[in-house]
Amino acid sequence: MKNKILLPFLTLSIFLITTGNAQQKLKESYSSYFEDTREIPYLHLNKSVFFNGEEVWFQAYILEQNSKKLHPTTSNLYVSIFSSKGELKDQKLIQIKKGLGAGSILLDSTYTEPYYFLKASTRWMKNFKEDNAYVNRIQIVSNSKQIVSKEINEDDFFDFQVFPEGGHFVENTINSAGVLIKDKNGKGQRVVSGFLKNAISGDTIQAFTTNRFGAGKFTFLYEKGLEFTMEAELENGSLITKKLKSAKVKGVNLIVKNPNTRFVEITLATNEATLPELIGKTYSILIHNTKEFYKREITFSKLQKNNTLFIKNDKLFKGTNIITIFNENNTPILERMIFNHSKVLFARPVVSKLFSSKDSTLVAIQNVSDEKAFMSASFLPVSTLAKDSKVDIYGKFLLEPFVKGDIENAAYYFSDVNRKKLNELDQLLLTQGWSKYSWKDIFNATTKKVHPFENGIDFTISTDKKIRKRQSLFVYSDENRLIRQLSQQENPFTLTNSFIKKGSDIYFGLKYGDNVLKIAPSLSYSDTKLFETIPNLQLEVPEFNELSISDYKVLPRDTEQLEGFEISTKIDKPQNIARDQFMAFRVLNMDELIIPGNDLRVYIENLARQYRNSRRGLRIIVNNEINPIFNDPYDIEMLSLDNVREMRFGNDERSRILAIYTYTPQEMLKLNRITSLTKVKIPVGFESVKEYYEPNYQSYLDKNFRNYGAVSWKHSLTVNANSKLNISIPNSYQEEVLMILEGITENGGLMHFSIPIKIDKKKNP
């Protein structure tokens, strides 16, 4: 009798222990897989169609996946351009500061193909199987139209897909499925009349339609022994068919209803054949978003084939949620994605035209939020055909981190949001199937990271002559804000985490007392190239509707004005300001605080650490410019004690302040009596940020300009909370221009919208 009682008890105990271990493994595996920071880059392009001779202008935004905010520490972004054959054409290294950067690529005469592909990624991203790189196609308008002649049939031209909700159908249960129909160019096709039919009798079982992007949904009873076909009539009159995949004889299916109200309804359904095997078993429902997860459970009973949970929306995560169903063995068996809409995901500045003069128009951008906002804006002719709609900031940051497939015109679902659009978004996510994250990878991932998280580049300076005791190597670059004197202990010397500019000049000299001799050092650099490819699936180009123009060119420019990085540390102005703003502050004895020749970071970080938990905190001021050192260390990276004129420490009404004042590079040269230096042009490094210039179009009044031209481009726009920014744009002989603005706030609120701006014709000759 005791044995009979003990056996069930042991069985139950083993089951509970096994279940507990499995749940713990799930929690640990999930947390471990997503604990490392992940970067999601996005490029806002000024347009998507170009003439030869134009530049592709872009603003880079890099999101940190877990925080959903701009990445605070990433710095090296590689922007590559590929031909339609996947051949690398060019690569630029773009400096990113606080998640933002800017650059351009000149489309010179060597760009002879009609299509090219841009890709933006980092070295650290290569540690992860999921590809979050930015990829987008651009087109170069050709002077002669190439006619693509290809005989096609309906199977070639249309991709008709059916997605069982959760991943499979089950016999003798109510099943739900998504429909997605695209043409050869990947554009969705609206179904005006669609039917699910009995394949044998031809009887109609269920009608369905899709939206203009080809996505739809239907539910039906999958009766045992039946076969089904689907028929869809498209807007162009084409009739296409699809055979429905077979259903499982036994199993559990998933139906999710997301009405975008207060609840989400999740139903697990099974049939009579399966239920006896499920009685007493517990399935887990995991709702997750790569950062957090929320779990519920369902235990099957003999009375219910359908088990439904109602999840309050406040239990869901803002944005995309992945719903995964695990069986009693902790094996994922069903999955689909939903979207939980929230206003905090978005921001909407107010744009208004102030006035138009003879040549330009002044536009105001009003940030009505309580957060600082970072934006970029493209201005195109209002009838443009070059508006970049294939990839946008909404799709890249809200959807693409989760889905495997391409999203067509994601901005549609998040602009002027209503119940209809949210329902269409739910249908879209249904047609994406399971998320891009493989549970096999999550459960079996290794923590080893092969590729480093980069912060600038390193370059090493060495000389063939030994630097003697009283000698020093003088290193100077005005362009890179670099002034160093290196002692004999520092040969070779590696300057780590630097942000030297490609093509910039660095000067070297061997200093001995008051004399300076020219010296030719040997320089080496850390890797500034990233091996990149583009999968063939992403190299799709349209087979029809190639754009063409008639003998239209962008004229070459005579000059090109460059604009350096916008920096807060201004070491190129006369430094007589220390006695003004912070005259009452205590002057620090630098010789007692810092070892000569060292940089200031160790001292500043130690000082900031002292006041980190203080109510008032510490602010760093460099040449009267506020420099939040722990958010933006780059601006004092190159400072050493040798080029610091004075440091003062004190308080104001808000915080403690460390004020640093530097010599100008010219003053440093005079102080060191240096006139003889060796100039070396640096062959690698970060791209300088150019000032946008208006291309020299042949005409602003013809169809070519109206379709494919550009009026203006504004990058790196920063608008403080509840503040306004005015920007001026040229009129370019237009009566109306289209402003395409994208951006993000400090807390991750996204913005993407297009707004027409009228220009007073009477003031625009």
Query: pLDDT-based confidence at 117, cuts 50/70/90?
Result: very high
Alpha helices in 577-617 (DSSP H): 590-593, 601-610
Query: pLDDT-based confidence at 445, cuts 50/70/90?
Result: confident
CB 674, CB 528: distance < 8 Å: no
pLDDT score recorded for residue 675: 59
What's the distance, CA 33 to chain centroid?
Answer: 20
**Kind and range of the H or E element at 20?**
helix 2-33
pLDDT score recorded for residue 502: 96
Query: Quick check: is 149 in a domain?
Result: no
Query: pLDDT-based confidence at 599, cuts 50/70/90?
Result: low
Strand order from edge to edge, sheet including 215-221: 158-164, 174-183, 215-221
Confidence (pTM): 0.84
pLDDT score recorded for residue 565: 25
CB 176, CB 266: distance < 8 Å: no
pLDDT score recorded for residue 538: 64
pLDDT at 564 over 50: no
pLDDT at 386 over 70: yes
CB 95, CB 499: distance < 8 Å: yes
pLDDT score recorded for residue 642: 64
Query: Quick check: is 126 in a domain?
Result: no
Give the highest mean pLDDT range of 18-32, 593-607, 642-656, 726-740: 726-740
pLDDT score recorded for residue 489: 66
Nearest CA to 373 out of 764, 747, 744 is that of 744
Exposed/middle/buried for residue 525 (C-beta within 10 Å: 0-12, 13-18, 19+): middle
pLDDT score recorded for residue 260: 87
Cα–Cα distance, 337 to 434 (Å, whole number): 7
Give the range of the structural domain holding residue 629, as residue numbers without chain letter: 586-663
Query: pLDDT-based confidence at 547, cuts 50/70/90?
Result: low
pLDDT at 567 over 70: no
Per residue in 401-441, pLDDT (tens digit) is 999 988 999 999 999 999 999 999 999 999 999 999 999 99
pLDDT score recorded for residue 747: 97
Cα–Cα distance, 266 to 257 (Å, whole number): 7
Nearest CA to 47 out of 565, 763, 740, 765 is that of 740
Domain boundary residue, one of 595, 628, 663: 663
- Quote the percentage of the chain above a pLDDT of 90: 63
pLDDT at 18 over 70: no
pLDDT at 689 over 70: yes
Task: Select the more confidently predicted residue: 473 or 107.
Answer: 107
Domain total in the chain = 3
pLDDT score recorded for residue 13: 46
Neighbouring CB atoms inside 10 A of 277's CB total: 11
Q: Residue range 740-764: average pLDDT?
A: 88
pLDDT at 292 over 70: yes
Query: Quick check: is 514 in a domain?
Result: yes
Per residue in 137-176, pLDDT (tens digit) is 999 987 445 544 444 444 457 999 999 999 999 999 999 9
Least confident stretch, 20-34, 74-88, 535-549: 535-549
Query: pLDDT-based confidence at 518, cuts 50/70/90?
Result: confident
Query: pLDDT-based confidence at 294, cuts 50/70/90?
Result: very high
Query: pLDDT-based confidence at 488, cuts 50/70/90?
Result: low
Cα–Cα distance, 565 to 576 (Å, whole number): 24
pLDDT, the chain, mean: 85
Least confident stretch, 161-165, 189-193, 494-498, 635-639: 635-639
Domain boundary residue, one of 610, 630, 663: 663
Residues near 24 by Cβ (< 8 Å), separated by ≥ 6?
Answer: none
* Ramachandran region, residue 703 (left: φ > 0; alpha: ψ -120 to 50; beta: rest): alpha
3-class SS of residue 358: coil
Sign of CA dihedral 321, 323, 329, 333: negative
What would the DSSP string read from start to end of 266-335?
A: EEEE--TTTHHHHTT-EEEEEEE-SS-EEEEEEE--TT-SEEEEEEEGGGSPSEEEEEEEE-TTS-EEEE
Query: Quick check: is 208 in a domain?
Result: no
Cα–Cα distance, 257 to 268 (Å, whole number): 12
Least confident stretch, 50-64, 169-183, 327-341, 488-502: 488-502
Task: Select the more confidently predicted residue: 763 or 677.
Answer: 677
Cα–Cα distance, 245 to 555 (Å, whole number): 57
Nearest CA to 371 out of 634, 753, 751 is that of 751
Bridge partners (DSSP) of residue 181 are 160
Pairing of strands 263-269, 306-312: antiparallel
Per residue in 226-239, pLDDT (tens digit) is 999 999 999 999 99
Q: Residue range 535-550: average pLDDT?
A: 63
What would the DSSP string read from start to end of 390-453?
A: SS-HHIIIIITTT-SS--S-THHHHSS--HHHHHHHHHHHHTT-S-S--HHHHHH------S--
